[in-house]
Amino acid sequence: MAEPHRALRHEHDEDGSHTEHAVPRLMIVPHRHTKIIHLIRHGQGYHNVAGHANPEAYKSIDFMDAHLTPYGWAQARKLNSHIKQLGSRFRADAIIVSPLMRTLETAAGVFGSGLWQEDDLPPPLMLRQSEVPGKRAAQEAISAAGCPPLIAWEGCREHLGQHPCDKRRPIREIAPRFPAVDFSLIGSDEDVLWQSANWRESHEEIRRRGVKLMHWLHQRPESQLAVVSHSSFLFFMMSAFGHAAAPSVQSELHKWFETCELRTVVLADEGGAHGHADMLHFPGEHSVNMEEES
């Protein structure tokens, strides 16, 4: 693909030389046709550790729907602290989360509000879980107090097929562990998407899922959303966007997500197909007396 045209501004310096400055390539879209999307990759999972040591471990049934490691939980708590420090600069009206254990646990660690107590009124975001050495870390119950709505959605799952770590458990097993998460959009109790260890979703199919996710997010009523998802899905989804942008912008969009990385983008619809209510817009009044207009 040819490099997009880059407009330059030339300025002459006092010594007679000249300097080139890139001219911003700006796009203006009415606010109601934009959304803020916070993209988050899950924290370190047990499958990540095993797969880093030996890539064949990704094909092991031992890591089916893998949990976060203790370090993965620490990453989620660190991001939780970072978001709290941002204060009003970070807002998520709803959180869309992949229904795999590592993403659900990450969402609980990042957006939960501390430990849940027996006398707390809202149900816990996540129940207490005990340690299973090498497979599951111990974690106390996490409170959902003040947490935005969490919505599980199959469309932002990891690369489907072949790797059991990307095969989800039945919803009847997952949902009771996360009482505050809405699983109503999951169409099947059993995983019907992963298919088999002999099949692998193509990169183009992942891109199509990613574009579908963005269309779905844009049609939702919220103006700011968080998505807790996976490395391959996020990478190939983002590869479907921004090809007309400058190389420096593409390098930001089209790079791999690290574990528990947060990256915020603006989703804009120049076509105007959908838009949310915009409280920042205040309509003026048509002036009847033309002499008043100046």
* Per-residue model confidence as pLDDT tens digits over 204-241: 999 999 999 999 999 999 999 999 999 999 999 999 99
CB 83 within 8 A of CB 148: no
Per-residue confidence in pLDDT tens, the chain, 294 aa: 444 444 555 555 566 665 665 667 787 888 888 999 999 999 999 999 999 999 999 999 999 999 999 999 999 999 999 999 999 999 999 999 999 999 999 999 999 988 888 877 778 999 999 999 999 999 999 999 989 999 999 999 999 999 999 999 999 999 999 999 999 999 999 999 999 889 999 999 999 999 999 999 999 999 999 999 999 999 999 999 988 888 888 888 899 999 999 999 999 887 776 777 777 777 888 766 655 555
Q: Please confirm, yes or no, whether 42 is among the known catalytic residues.
A: yes
What is the Cα 183 distance to its own chain's centre? Answer: 17
**Predicted local distance difference test score (pLDDT) of residue 117:** 84
Q: Please confirm, yes or no, whether 293 is among the known catalytic residues.
A: no
Choosing from 33, 42, 47, 67, the catalytic residue is: 42
**100/97 Cα distance (integer angstroms):** 8
In the chain, at which residue ranges do the beta strands (DSSP E only) sit? 8-12, 18-22, 34-41, 94-97, 150-152, 181-182, 224-229, 262-268
**227/285 Cα distance (integer angstroms):** 40
Domains of the chain (ranges plus CATH)? 39-270 (3.40.50)
**254/66 Cα distance (integer angstroms):** 26
Choosing from 33, 38, 67, 158, the catalytic residue is: 158
The residues, ordered by sequence, that sit 6+ positions from 9 with a Cβ below 8 Å of its Cβ are 20, 21, 22, 23
* Per-residue model confidence as pLDDT tens digits over 277-286: 777 777 888 7
**Predicted local distance difference test score (pLDDT) of residue 5:** 45
**50/53 Cα distance (integer angstroms):** 5
**What is the end-to-end Cα distance of the chain in Å, rounded?**
49
**113/84 Cα distance (integer angstroms):** 10
Q: Which pair of tokens denotes residue 18?
A: 């000249």
